[in-house]
Amino acid sequence: MFDFLEKLRSKPEKVKKQIAFFVSIFLAGIIFVVWLSVIYPDFRQSQKQKQKVENLTPSPFSTFTTQLSSGISSISEKFSEIKNTISSFSTSPAYYSATTSIVVGTTTNQ
């Protein structure tokens, strides 16, 4: 190893810079691969968890349409109740039936 370093010291400055550049790229590549091998499985696991949560929670648009349709159906039910109530007043025989009452002591002028 020391012989290699002595040979490297005797080389021109340009060659030494090229060797230093390639060695640093190589070491950075090794560090990147190690970092990626540690981070990537954790990243995949968190992505799977996010996907499961997204599948459980409805989208905002579907929530809005569900709320809108339930609101419209409840309003239409209320209108139906009001319509039935009004129609029951007008067609109910009890509404038109007269009650008889005895009036005592009335005189009529003819």
**40-51 pLDDT tens trace:** 777 777 778 888
Helices 13-56/2-9 angle, 10° precision: 110
Pull the structure tokens for residue 73.
């159906």
- State pLDDT tens for residues 79-91: 888 888 877 766 5
Give the whole-angstrom CA distance, residue 89 versus residue 103. Answer: 28
Q: Does residue 101 lie within any of the structural domains?
A: no
Provide the number of structural domains found in the chain. Answer: 2
Give the whole-angstrom CA distance, residue 99 versus residue 14. Answer: 122
Q: Whole-model pTM?
A: 0.39
Give pLDDT, residue 56.
74
Q: Specify whether 27 is located in the same domain as 52.
A: yes
Provide the domain limits for residue 33.
Answer: 11-57
Q: Specify whether 67 is located in the same domain as 84.
A: yes
Query: Within the chain, which residues score under 70 in pLDDT?
Result: 89-110
Measured over the CA atoms of residue 88, residue 92, residue 98 and residue 100, the dihedral's sign is negative
